[in-house]
Structure 1
Amino acid sequence: MTLHHPIKVIAVTGGKGGVGKTNLSVNLSIALAQLRRRVVLMDADLGLANVDVLLGLQAQHTIADVLDGSHSLRDVMINGPGGIKVVPASSGIQQMASLTPQEHAALIHAFSELSDQLDALIIDTAAGISDTVVSFVSAAQEVIVVVCDEPSSITDAYALIKLLNAEYDIFRFRVVANMTRSNQEGINLFSKLNTVCERFIDASLQYMGNIPFDENVRKAIQKRQPIIQFAPRSKAASAIKTLAQKVDDWPVQTLPRGHLEFFIERLLQTSNASGM
């Protein structure tokens, strides 16, 4: 039996809007591509697309066309900066924000056709803890929770972690503090979240570091460029490159967890082969 190379599937989430998830997703994807990984970035904010807007890309087709059967995922993928591929979401289509479980499953399965074309899939989730967010996060192997220095950020991140832990048996969460004024502020943010999780949830939180507040980020967004290309030596870009190296070093999950996951077929294949 031929085993395929493993694929890292990483959901970037945060529970609330405004914490910088999309910006981190985009730049982390490019930083991984700079490490010679083949990266696909999925905009999973299905009804309010923002990845293509952030990068100034023009999407002819979107995930909506995959779901209605008119196009394949390969058809809708567009070239992004730094060699990444982007799967764009729809914008202003209400029904896309409330897919049925069957539609979620179909979309997750559709990615199997790309399995020999990528090393990492980064999923930029929508804000909140909707069924759509939970569905995509639970189908990933790794969860990066982005927090910032706002009380609601910690509260919403905790609510998301609690839900994923209770309903989907997800026990490991990687935490990134964004837009911090100091390294210590990032550590303090993680400590707040970790303290409440240790009290009430059986989960492991791992601090992945902080992305400092950087005026260059705002300038890059205005120019519709990723900070990692706009100002590659900036504080924020340097921190994201450091994070990408950590992500690249994570071992890849090769065993299924027992529920719907991206590339589940190859996980099952690996699992069956290891048990032979």
Structure 2
Amino acid sequence: MARPRRPVGAITRGTTGHNRLRRSDRWITAVCGPMLRSARRPLVVDLGYGASHTTTLELFLRLRRVRPDVEVTGIEIDPARVAAARPYERPGLEFRLGGFELPVDRPPLLVRAFNVLRQYGEAEAWEHWDLLRSGIDPDGVIVEGTCSEVGHRAVWAALDASGPRTLTLSARFDAFERPSDLAERLPKTLIHRNVPGEPVHAFLRDFDHAWAVSAPLAPYGARQRWIAAVEALSATWPVFLRPPLGGRSRWRLGEVTVPWAAVAPLDSP
């Protein structure tokens, strides 16, 4: 696919804040850490970081604990936001003007893109996924998703050069009443598919049921109830059961990850 010369995309609201993306960053460091450590010269892109440099800096600092020489580039389509962020550059961290075309000097090994596709239609979201996939390292990963204003509810898809691979739901235990409350944070390629007959709807329905039947564990805390619900869900859904994508070490954080194929739209491209 030919790479566009001008920024691709539209300016977002730019809402951001300290630790808003902590849940996804924690997943990235655990799941993508081995990939970053083994790469020769890893480049990470934070796409659409918003009105503040904050979450890009947080990603940079977290990834530097995994790979001390990792390079991170924050990309924004709004020139004013880029200008405001540049005083915070440091060795290994820079900010550039651009969009989904990823204007960097080499294919990134990792792209984090959060809260950037909410304003697009479903078809456009698939197209932007395709454009991002065409620009990453052949062994690279894209983590694309959305989260609540303070980051207590989040859902993201992980993609590689061949397409979407996994879907992860993550929430603070006091931020929901039932798992399907996270449906409002589904990626744009799924959010309108939360209707009867679609796999993602069935998944959330069954997760709610597993949560309900695990209610006897509530006196021991929401964490224990969540772990029991995920274990019950795994009887009928291909929940990842072992690290780094699954197992109690991930579930106790309020996470669950399933293969994308299990929840993909019935008529996905």
With the length of structure 2 as denominator, give the TM-score of the two structures: 0.37
Higher share in helix: 1
Normalised to the residue count of structure 1, the TM-score between the two structures is 0.36
